[in-house]
Amino acid sequence: MNTTSKVAKPTKIKNRLPYLFTLPVTLAVFALLIYPTVFVFYLSFHSSLAGIDNLEFVGLKNFLFMFQSPTFWVTLKNTLLFTLGAVTIPFLLGLLIAYLLHIIQKGVAFFRVVFILPLAVAPVVTALTWNMILNPLYGVANYFLKLMHIPGLQWAAHSNTALLSVILIEVWQWVPFMILILYAGFQMIPEEPLEAAMIDGASGWQGFFYITLPLLKSTIIIAIIFRLMDAFKSFDIIYSVTKGGPAYATYTMVIGAYQESFPFHSLEKGAVLGIVMLVIAFIGSKQALKFLPK
């Protein structure tokens, strides 16, 4: 009887060891992810006018106020336009450059180092550097435009070009990400299907569009999903360059959530914007995952 209990006790301890080892990670996830998320949902149904310690339940009033606000629709439009530009342009440029590197196969090691440099720079540093480059008065960008007898632009200082300016900075930072992922995808594609197509008389463009791209589909979707998630919540570059201005030209949802929560001390409005972003990101990711091959 005693021998059985002695054997059973170490076995129970051994079975519980995995849970004990994962306990610190579980507590960290709860503290940094689960609890804040639950609290944001709780906060969105309350008013914080009397302070965070005296929340007043208001139901869906915060959501109705947000959807009736013209500023919300401006932030939504800016967010979608920024995300579209910050995903589409890096993807197309990355696909083109990765394909050229795949075909040429010369100097790839050198270009890998060159292309990875923008990724190694902190977004805030990137934003401040480009802010000087795009400065309307003494920036390098306008200097070269004037050399070509093209009038200088206001770039981030004008509402017509501010969104384009921050998209340009985002593109510079993240084209290398697309290049590295897509180049790795090109390297994994077997050569036999393309060689067979060439023997049958297919042109280079036909081989690329009908054989290479379909075989690269999974890599493309994964790269786009990662870029979508990052661009949708981009904050550093936009805030460092324009702070959402001028005249709400770059006022995206994440900028709005920050401004409402901290400078304006309206935590419930920031929480509502965060929830809307979470819902949009969830729906978008779920739809994008459907394109992955089973």
Please report the pLDDT score of residue 32 as a whole number: 83
Stated pTM of the model:
0.88
pLDDT digits (tens, 9 = 90+) for 214-261: 899 989 999 999 999 999 999 999 999 999 989 899 999 999 999 999
The 3-class secondary structure across 238-286, one letter per residue, is HHHHCCCCCCCCCCCHHHHHHHHHCCCCCHHHHHHHHHHHHHHHHHHHH
Please report the pLDDT score of residue 35 as a whole number: 87
Q: So what CATH class is 71-289? A: mainly alpha
pLDDT digits (tens, 9 = 90+) for 77-114: 999 999 999 999 999 999 999 999 888 877 778 887 88
Contact 180, 163 (CB under 8 A): no
User: Of all helices (H) and strands (E), which one includes residue 56?
Assistant: strand 56-57
C-alpha closest to that of 163 among 241, 226, 90: 241
* Cis bond before residue 90 (omega within 30° of 0): no
pLDDT digits (tens, 9 = 90+) for 166-200: 999 999 999 999 999 999 999 998 888 888 888 87
Residue with the bigger pLDDT between 292 and 64: it is: 64
The 10 Å Cβ neighbour count of residue 268 is 25
Contact 272, 228 (CB under 8 A): no
pLDDT at 70 over 80: yes
277/233 Cα distance (integer angstroms): 8
Please report the pLDDT score of residue 155 as a whole number: 93
Please report the pLDDT score of residue 125 as a whole number: 92
Q: Where in the chain is the domain with CATH 1.10.3720.10?
A: 71-289
pLDDT at 6 over 80: no
pLDDT at 159 over 60: yes
- Give helix 162-188 / helix 70-104 axis angle, nearest 10°: 40
pLDDT at 71 over 70: yes
Contact 116, 173 (CB under 8 A): no
